[in-house]
């Protein structure tokens, strides 16, 4: 007889605890973030880790996954995570990164109630404190009408590491009178910098660094920025679409800030391994 009334009371108190806990948690969440990613081929082993990580962030209200004609059912695998925040957009053909992120951003802009869109590649594993650091820096950087964007440091991107340490971004980005980063006027200067790199010790990272354009993976945009820069140009399909798209931020008098403390790890080790740089290589092509 005792159990008959103790058990219902226990579960009632348990439910009340969870309601109060979740209410308190939601009250402390200042910003809502929608994560956007694009996958293809057979990359669930990477995507799964990324999804599990970002779903652990309280600020994440939605995760949009564009399935670019993958070799497996992304929808089936994602459904097994039992989290209704994950939305899979299925394509029967590969639309490339340009088409995929165009689709994800348009869906999020039209359908999702979020303050920020956080773009990640399907193998970009953010540090557990990455989103927290981004949002903290967002509040520290002043800009009218949210005319700013933030970018995570991907430590396998050596130019970004050097820029995070204080190197002039013009060393790695397009400047006047050069072709894809190569300029006859800068040959001696560039070789001097490469020689200096060999003997220079590690420098501490800056807190925030301006950068003209970035890849998709690691970019945090305010929802209002979409009205100014639109969506990626699908005609580019796969190459430089991210550079062209994010450079629109700079062209619209906004600023992209690299936040070195907010780190993202590329967990696919197959990209670019065994590549040897040439002596007169372009930093943009490298």
Q: What is the predicted pLDDT for the residue at 195?
A: 60
Say if residue 27's pLDDT is above 60: no
- pLDDT tens-digit readout, 56-97: 999 999 999 999 999 999 999 999 999 999 999 999 999 999
- pLDDT tens-digit readout, 205-244: 999 999 999 999 999 999 999 999 999 999 999 889 999 9
Average pLDDT, the chain: 85
The burial class, CB within 10 Å (0-12 / 13-18 / 19+), for 265 is: middle
Model confidence band, residue 202 (pLDDT cutoffs 50, 70, 90)? confident
d(CA 157, CA 272): 11
Q: What is the predicted pLDDT for the residue at 184?
A: 60
Going through the chain in order, the beta strands assigned E by DSSP cover 33-39, 60-68, 86-91, 116-119, 124-126, 148-154, 209-211, 219-222, 255-266
* Cβ proximity of 264 and 130 under 8 Å: yes
Please state the domain extents for the chain: 29-155+205-266
CATH of domain 29-155+205-266: 3.90.550.10
* Cβ proximity of 245 and 232 under 8 Å: yes
Q: What is the predicted pLDDT for the residue at 269?
A: 75
């Amino acid at each position: 007889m005792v159990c008959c009334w103790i058990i219902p009371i226990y579960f009632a108190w348990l439910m009340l605890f969870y309601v109060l806990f979740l209410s308190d948690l939601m009250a402390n969440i200042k910003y809502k973030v929608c994560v956007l990613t694009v996958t293809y081929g057979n990359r669930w082993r990477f995507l799964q880790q990324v999804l599990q990580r970002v779903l652990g962030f309280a600020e994440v209200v939605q995760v949009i996954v564009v399935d670019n004609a993958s070799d497996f059912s992304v929808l089936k695998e994602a459904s097994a995570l039992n989290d209704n925040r994950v939305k899979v957009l299925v394509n029967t053909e590969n639309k490339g990164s340009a088409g995929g992120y165009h689709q994800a951003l348009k869906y999020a802009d039209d359908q999702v109630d979020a303050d920020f869109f956080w773009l990640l590649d399907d193998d970009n594993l953010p540090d557990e404190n990455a989103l927290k650091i981004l949002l903290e820096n967002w509040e520290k950087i002043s800009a009218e009408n949210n005319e700013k964007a933030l970018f995570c440091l991907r430590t396998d991107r050596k130019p970004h590491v050097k820029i995070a340490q204080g190197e002039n971004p013009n060393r790695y980005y397009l400047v006047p009178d050069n072709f894809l980063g190569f300029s006859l006027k800068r040959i001696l200067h560039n070789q001097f910098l490469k020689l200096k790199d060999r003997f220079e010790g590690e420098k501490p990272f800056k807190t925030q660094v301006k950068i003209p354009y970035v890849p998709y993976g690691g970019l945090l945009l305010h929802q209002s920025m979409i009205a100014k820069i639109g969506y990626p140009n699908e005609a580019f399909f796969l190459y430089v679409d991210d550079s062209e798209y994010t450079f629109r931020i700079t062209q619209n008098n906004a600023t992209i800030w690299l936040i070195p403390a907010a780190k993202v790890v590329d967990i696919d080790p197959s990209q670019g391994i065994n590549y040897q740089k040439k002596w007169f290589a372009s930093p943009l092509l490298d």
